[in-house]
Amino acid sequence: MNGPSELNWDNLENGVRNCRRCVLGSQRLNSVLGRGSRTATLMFVGEGPGRQEDEQGLPFVGAAGQLLDTALESLSFDPADYYIANVVKCRPPMNRTPLPEEAAACLNYLRAQFALIKPRIIVCLGSVAHTNLVSSEETITRARGKWIQKKDVWFLSTYHPAALLRDETKKLPFWQDLKLAKQKLDEIKNGQI
Ligand code: SF4
């Protein structure tokens, strides 16, 4: 968040809705803050809204989102345990990758979401989230499936579900990574870590 306003959900929603900090703000239909439990233990972070997300104002509601939802349901994730957001809150034109300066302009909103939700696990979906939240040194193919702990937050990176729609061979590693996330979530909920 910018400026002196108190950190709360109302201020965050208003800030994002009215934001023009980067060029994406002038081209969106709707900003897309996130969906899911605001007391979640785990946050998924993707790249940015696509066409359907822009139309509905919700993240991961298109084909990639349905794939993610199906996988989470199959692995018995409880919706009370997770929240889904993106690095940028407005749709890049033609679904292009957000530019580094757009991600940099928007990251304070994601940080505000982290501060409000206080997740213990953050799963980066795809290279944009991985680069901005974990490291820019490894490709997502090399970095995926490895836990990195920063303070008391566990980070895990995996493929963006949209990549699975283009390349079937990514489905198995994606599934394995989500299983790792579920295991860690269960350990945290059971007080084991
Ligand atoms: S993408 Fe983020 S920084 Fe850019 S206008 Fe939208 S909310 Fe603001």
Q: Which fold has domain 9-189?
A: Uracil-DNA Glycosylase, subunit E (3.40.470)
User: Of the residues 1, 2, 18, 24, which should be mutated to test ligand 1's pocket, given the most ligand atoms within 8 Å of the CB?
Assistant: 24
Segments in the chain forming alpha helices (H): 9-17, 51-56, 63-74, 100-117, 127-133, 140-143, 161-166, 171-189
In the structure encoding, which two tokens stand for residue 102, read together? Answer: 């757009």
Could you tell me the distance, in angstroms and rounded to a whole number, from the CA of residue 21 to the centre of ligand 1? Answer: 6
Could you tell me the distance, in angstroms and rounded to a whole number, from the CA of residue 107 to the centre of ligand 1? Answer: 9
Residue 25 Cα: closest atom of ligand 1: 5
Per-residue pLDDT of the chain (193 residues; tens, 9 = 90+): 545 689 999 999 999 999 999 999 999 999 999 999 999 999 999 999 999 999 999 999 999 999 999 999 999 999 999 999 999 999 999 999 999 999 999 999 999 999 999 999 999 999 999 999 999 999 999 999 999 999 999 999 999 999 999 999 999 999 999 999 999 999 999 999 8
Residue 15 Cα: closest atom of ligand 1: 7
* Helices vs. strands in the chain: H and E counts, helices first: 8, 6
